């Protein structure tokens, strides 16, 4: 599938003229290093987005962030934009994937932002710290798809796929 960039909003769109199938959802990282490429390599069906989809992009978006406060606040900001209807197009926000930024438990400030975020989005999927991902050499080497938390996320996204591709 080829990707084109809409110069007006820097929004990726699938090239439907070439007979490819529209992706079921878009992974939208709300900050650099959120983990979008790792999720995209581990869970088939989505496409990496550089911004909110245009008319030609996926109709469903999954926000991706790390659980440090900066990442959670970026997700909160994106969710607020979606809730306010300022993202353009007819986009359904499926939820947020919050990927652990450390092996320790979340601190109070992180939990507070997650609680606020939970009031705005349909679902929050939390991916715990996965130590072996720190030493893999390429995105596809991490076997993240076999992790139980990612399996649950993949199952949830697969269950919405029939509703959004018909």
Average pLDDT, the chain: 79
Domains in the chain, ordered, with CATH? 3-165 (3.40.50)
**Residue 139 near residue 43 (C-beta atoms within 8 A):** no
Provide the pLDDT confidence category of residue 153 given band limits of 50, 70 and 90. Answer: confident
Say what the alpha-carbon torsion angle 11, 54, 46, 111 is, to the nearest 10 degrees: 80
Q: Tell me: pLDDT of 83 over 90.
A: yes
How many Å separate Cα 82 from the centre of its chain?
Answer: 14
What percent of the chain lies above the pLDDT cut of 90? Answer: 43
Provide the pLDDT confidence category of residue 164 given band limits of 50, 70 and 90. Answer: very low
With helix as H, strand as E and coil as C, how does the chain read?
CCEEEECCCCEEEECHHHCCCCCCEEEEECCCCCCHHHHHHHCCCEEEECCCCCCCCCCEEEEEEECCHHHHHHHHHHHHHHHHCCCCCCCEEEEEEEECCCCCCCCHHHHHHHHHHHCCCCCEEEECCCHHHHHCCCHHHHCHHHCHHHHHHHHHHHHHHHHHHC
pTM (two decimals) = 0.80
Q: Which residue has the higher pLDDT, 14 or 103?
A: 103
């Amino acid at each position: 599938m080829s990707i084109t960039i809409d110069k007006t909003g820097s929004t990726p769109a699938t090239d439907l003229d070439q007979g490819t199938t529209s992706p079921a959802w878009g992974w939208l990282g709300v900050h650099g290093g959120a983990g979008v490429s790792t999720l995209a390599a581990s869970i088939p069906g989505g496409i990496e987005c550089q911004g909110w989809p245009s008319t030609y992009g996926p109709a469903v978006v999954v926000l991706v962030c790390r659980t440090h406060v900066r990442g959670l606040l970026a997700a909160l900001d994106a969710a607020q934009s979606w809730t306010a209807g300022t993202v353009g197009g007819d986009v359904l926000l499926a939820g947020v994937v919050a990927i652990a930024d450390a092996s320790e438990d979340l601190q109070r400030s992180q939990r507070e932002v997650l609680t606020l975020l939970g009031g705005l989005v349909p679902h929050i999927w939390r991916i715990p710290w996965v130590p072996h991902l720190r030493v893999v050499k390429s995105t596809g080497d991490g076997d993240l798809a076999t992790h139980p938390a990612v399996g649950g996320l993949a199952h949830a996204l697969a269950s919405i796929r029939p509703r959004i591709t018909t």
